[in-house]
Amino acid sequence: MTDSPEKKPRPERPVRKPLDRDPRPPHPGAIAPAQGRFLDPATAIVVDGVVPRPTVYVGPRLLVSKSVDVAAAVEVLRYVAEPLGWSVEPEDEDPRTVNLKFGYVPLRLGVASNRATIAPDAWTLLQQTRAQFGVSAVKGVSLDHLVVPAIDSDPMHDSSPMHDSSPMHDSSPMHDSSPMHDSSPASDARGSRAIATYLQIGSGGRQPIAYVGSAPRRRQDQAIKGRRPVVAVLDTGCGEHPWLDGVVTTTVTLDGVTIGYSDATSVSPEDEGDQSGPLDGSIDPISGHGTFIAGLIRQRCPDADILAWRVVPSDGPIVESDLVATLAQIAELARRHRAGEPGGHPIDVLSLSMGYYHETPEDALFDPTMYAILEELARAGVVVVCSAGNDATSRPSFPAAFGRWADDGGPIPFDPTIAPILSVGASNPNGTDALFSNAGPWVRSYGPGAAVMSTMPAFRGGYEPVARTRAFGRVREAIDPDDFRGGFAVWSGTSFSAPVLAGTVAAGLVGALEPVDDVSDPQSAVDLAWEVVTSTTGLARS
């Protein structure tokens, strides 16, 4: 080894197009629980002429893919860390992936001596190692990114410590109207008054409504040719609701091991709406998210069975390693089913309403571990539907940007031999594109995502009606803005475009799937997936 890095001139910073804008830096309090740090391109170390883009990551942790030589990666990282006074210690692999094909070995960075002058930092160590030994020396080593539901709950989006972490998921009628509030377009020169209208109650912000119709009609098993399509949802879980009883299953495991989080590890955001933030009774920004998503699938395809797993907390970000571990479990379920092995479960569509922005998606530093898992799912005939995000930017968000780009310019070459990975943006009720939706050549489809109606757990938050009185022995009051005991709500975000499209694809599969006791071969499943996707979205396989 040599500790003499090659001297290279620092490249000029490229000019970003307005549509390709980067999110605002996060407030430290928004990412502190996950030991999150913001990668600032203005101060970040540059290697091989690559200028990183902003992202949020776990500061003292690196991830090493199981697909590479973990011991060799640790050795070179320790060599570089030693002069900095840092230690590099492998931790136990997530027990959920120990016996699976995909997974990470986490590396914990610490202070090894009193010579350390700065806190251990994953990006600094990774770039120093690349500078000294080249990109290939740490191939398969990556940051542990913070992944957020529907993107706009992204901690990069807001700089106010008092701000609700999700401006697209806020139930407060006072949220947008306050000139003292950080998200107010009047107080933020970089904000958009037009986009802010989606936050307001009555314009698409989360609010209770009264639904007076019947539940979507679900046919009996014997009335359907073949088995029912299965739509899997990885989100905040799913709460109780009359529409979802007997339709949603939350107990599917892999070899008895819980997929995602369990009630034993934390309280479900679908059971308890207020788990984080001040003791004010305000419903958390993502509470009810998974129930709302399940209700959209139920409306779009009443005959589908739904699997719901919980990996997202009530206040937003999760770490990438947690998401990867859970996706690896789901991929193994689908693979075993398609191979006819014990312990599998049929999955036809996977709906993902979350994402992150990678710092180097266009070059050799990009780690495609998550894509490898989605590819495994797609080879088993699973259509993966991903929300594009709500930041009104063309910057690619992952995993949505793993799909085929319109110009075939994405980081992953298009593979027509596997089922499609679909990115979906949000449209308004009139069919136009929602202003908050991300866009670009990587967003290939659009679906209802602004002011959509669906199911909600029976939450009752801390707000009160603005007026209440009694007359003729009856209570009279204004609408309680966070009383969801009626069971239904309106909400906005590309989070909801994904399950709408997932349900649409599932509806196309009804009557075309194999019998319950049979299993189609992978190629037949992929061919059927493409046939349905082409007919429902217009996206062609060739």
DSSP string, 435-460: TTS--STT--EEEE-SSEEEE----B
The interaxial angle of helices 320-339 and 369-379, nearest 10 deg, is 20
CATH number at residue 291: 3.40.50.200
How do 468-471 and 474-477 pair as beta strands? antiparallel
Q: What is the mean pLDDT of residues 3-21?
A: 52
Task: Determine what percent of the chain is predicted with pLDDT higher than 90.
Answer: 66
User: For the chain, how many structural domains are there in total?
Assistant: 2
Q: What is the mean pLDDT of residues 523-533?
A: 98
Burial (0-12, 13-18, 19+ Cβ within 10 Å), 356: buried
Secondary structure E strands in 472-516: 474-477, 488-491
Q: What is the mean pLDDT of residues 28-53?
A: 78
Average pLDDT, the chain: 86
Which domain-ending residue is among 94, 122, 139?
A: 139
Task: Determine what percent of the chain is predicted with pLDDT higher than 70.
Answer: 86
Q: Is 438 helix (H, G, I), strand (E, B) or coil?
A: coil
121 and 227 assigned to the same domain: no
Closest CA to 97 of 353, 376, 378: 376
The β-bridge partners of 398 are 356
Determine the pLDDT at residue 169. Answer: 44
Q: What is the mean pLDDT of residues 423-428?
A: 97
The interaxial angle of helices 70-81 and 122-133, nearest 10 deg, is 100
Q: Establish if 11 belongs to a structural domain.
A: no
Helix, strand counts (H, E) of the chain: 9, 19
Is the pLDDT at 464 greater than 70? The verdict is: yes
- What is the rounded CA–CA span in Å between residue 503 and residue 302? 9
338 and 441 assigned to the same domain: yes
DSSP secondary structure letter of residue 157? G
Determine the pLDDT at residue 323. Answer: 94
pLDDT-based confidence at residue 267 (cuts at 50, 70, 90): confident
112 and 250 assigned to the same domain: no
> What is the value of pTM for the model shown?
0.88
Of 120-124, 281-285, 289-293, 486-490, the poorest mean pLDDT is in 281-285
Determine the pLDDT at residue 163. Answer: 36
The type of residue at 24 is R
Which domain-ending residue is among 94, 113, 139?
A: 139
125 and 254 assigned to the same domain: no
Determine the pLDDT at residue 4. Answer: 44
Is the pLDDT at 126 greater than 50? The verdict is: yes
127 and 234 assigned to the same domain: no
Of 59-63, 136-140, 223-227, 496-500, the poorest mean pLDDT is in 136-140
209's CB contacts (< 8 A; 6+ apart) are 453, 486, 488, 489, 490
Q: Establish if 255 belongs to a structural domain.
A: yes
Q: Establish if 86 belongs to a structural domain.
A: yes
455 and 316 assigned to the same domain: yes
More confident residue, 540 or 31: 540
Determine the pLDDT at residue 58. Answer: 94
Q: Establish if 411 belongs to a structural domain.
A: yes
Q: Is 18 helix (H, G, I), strand (E, B) or coil?
A: helix
Tokens of 265: 């590890």
Q: Establish if 470 belongs to a structural domain.
A: yes
129 and 240 assigned to the same domain: no
Which domain-ending residue is among 139, 162, 188?
A: 139
Of 20-29, 184-193, 242-251, 417-426, the poorest mean pLDDT is in 184-193
Q: Which residues are catalytic?
A: 235, 289, 495
Determine the pLDDT at residue 81. Answer: 95
Contact (CB, 8 A) for 238 and 308: yes
- What is the rounded CA–CA span in Å between residue 350 and residue 385? 6
Q: What is the mean pLDDT of residues 442-459?
A: 96
**pLDDT tens for residues 51-104?**
788 899 999 999 999 999 999 999 999 999 999 999 999 999 999 999 999 999
Determine the pLDDT at residue 280. Answer: 86
- Determine the straight-line distance between the first and last CA of the chain, rounded to whole angstroms: 47
pLDDT-based confidence at residue 113 (cuts at 50, 70, 90): confident
More confident residue, 14 or 458: 458
pLDDT-based confidence at residue 173 (cuts at 50, 70, 90): very low
DSSP secondary structure letter of residue 260? B
- What is the rounded CA–CA span in Å between residue 446 and residue 25? 28
pLDDT-based confidence at residue 162 (cuts at 50, 70, 90): very low
Is the pLDDT at 521 greater than 90? The verdict is: yes
pLDDT-based confidence at residue 488 (cuts at 50, 70, 90): very high
Domain hosting 116: range is: 32-139
Determine the pLDDT at residue 177. Answer: 37
- What is the rounded CA–CA span in Å between residue 63 and residue 502? 31
